């Protein structure tokens, strides 16, 4: 026990240090990363947005960041599978805590998210966001597009989120349409994976429907994503309802007929060629979860996003 510590989220001596907390104890930052608002030296930042006022069905995704932080404790110490490396040996990652929002003034929410995201992005760090419902991706796209231009949106989702939008709605089902209208994403290089619903408009975005995934291997799906984005700067957004409810019951708008977590994780593992400039995991609603199934899936997806960033950093050295 002499070389071990606890509450690594507060006691870490430096940002690249490994944690030794017992899985069942200690402060629950994401993967035990240091809780701090100091961005100096951070290569990647994990940030929560506890907002779910834009949901069209079951609320509760405001508790998603907490749930994913708790579930991420199982990853905190060992080399992370399937990357076979300590993700934090060469990549300094912090947990920046949560976005500060006024629950009584939802009209102020988009600007608050964008403003606080800009502070993080100004540091040059990679931003991984834990939602929250899918509306939060729109102000995140605004912040990222301001730096990188129109982005290739890579969206794992059961829904297209392209319903009509009057630019004033607080709605998780229309943010993609608004992002296209505002030039935040390039529809010709954007792709949606796992869609199992219909919307009136596809906005010119390529769709891989749920039934199509059944007939494709993980390698084929990943190859399709990489070829369609054509090397563009990409934003990766993962709505947990992309997964079948058997693998992610804890979400606001579950849709049967989706892929397994194993298949989609195998797809994510193969996306190291994507130029991912930012990412999020959204719509985890733990009130409808069972035995943390959905929270574990969400935390695993988030860990894979950090793993892809670590591989990209290593390749670019």
Binding residues for Mn(2+): 134, 157, 159, 161, 239, 241
Binding residues, as ranges, are: 134, 157, 159, 161, 239, 241
| Rg of the chain over all Cα atoms, to the nearest angstrom | 18
Give Cα 112 to chain centroid, integer Å.
19
| Strand ranges for the chain from DSSP E | 34-35, 44-49, 93-98, 126-131, 152-156, 191-195, 206-209, 233-239, 275-282
Collect all residues with Cβ–Cβ distance below 8 Å to 296 and sequence separation of at least 6.
71, 74
DSSP character for 204?
A: T
Q: Which of 204, 221, 203 is nearest to 212 (CA)?
A: 221
Helix axes 261-269, 218-229, angle to 10 degrees: 50
Q: Which of 160, 154, 112, 149 is nearest to 132 (CA)?
A: 112
């Amino acid at each position: 026990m002499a070389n071990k510590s606890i509450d690594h989220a507060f006691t870490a001596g430096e940002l690249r240090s490994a944690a030794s907390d017992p899985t069942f104890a200690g402060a629950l930052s994401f993967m035990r990363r240091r809780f701090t608002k100091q961005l100096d030296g951070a290569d990647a930042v994990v940030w929560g947005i506890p907002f779910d006022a834009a949901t069209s069905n079951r609320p509760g995704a405001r508790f998603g960041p907490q749930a994913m932080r708790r579930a991420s404790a199982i990853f905190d110490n060992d080399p992370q599978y399937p990357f076979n490396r300590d993700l934090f040996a060469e990549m300094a990652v912090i947990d920046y805590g949560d976005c500060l929002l006024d629950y009584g003034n939802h009209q102020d929410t988009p600007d608050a998210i964008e403003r606080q995201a800009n502070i993080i992005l100004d540091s040059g760090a990679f931003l991984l966001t834990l939602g929250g419902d899918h509306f939060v991706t729109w102000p995140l796209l605004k912040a990222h597009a301001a730096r990188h231009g129109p982005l290739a949106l890579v969206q794992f989702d059961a829904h297209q989120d392209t319903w009509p939008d009057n630019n004033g709605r607080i709605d998780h089902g229309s943010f993609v349409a608004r992002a296209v209208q505002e030039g935040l994403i390039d529809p010709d290089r954007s792709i949606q994976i796992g869609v199992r619903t219909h919307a009136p408009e596809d906005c010119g975005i390529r769709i891989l429907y749920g039934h199509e995934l059944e007939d494709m291997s993980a390698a084929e799906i990943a190859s399709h994503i990489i070829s369609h984005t054509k090397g563009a700067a990409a934003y990766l957004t993962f709505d947990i309802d992309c997964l079948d409810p058997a693998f992610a019951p804890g979400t606001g708008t579950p849709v049967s007929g989706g892929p397994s977590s194993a298949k989609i994780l195998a797809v994510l593992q193969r996306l190291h060629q994507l130029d991912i400039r930012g990412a999020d995991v959204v719509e985890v609603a733990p009130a409808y979860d069972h035995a943390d199934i959905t929270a574990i899936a969400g935390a695993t997806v988030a860990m894979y996003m950090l793993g892809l960033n670590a591989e990209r950093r290593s390749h670019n050295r």
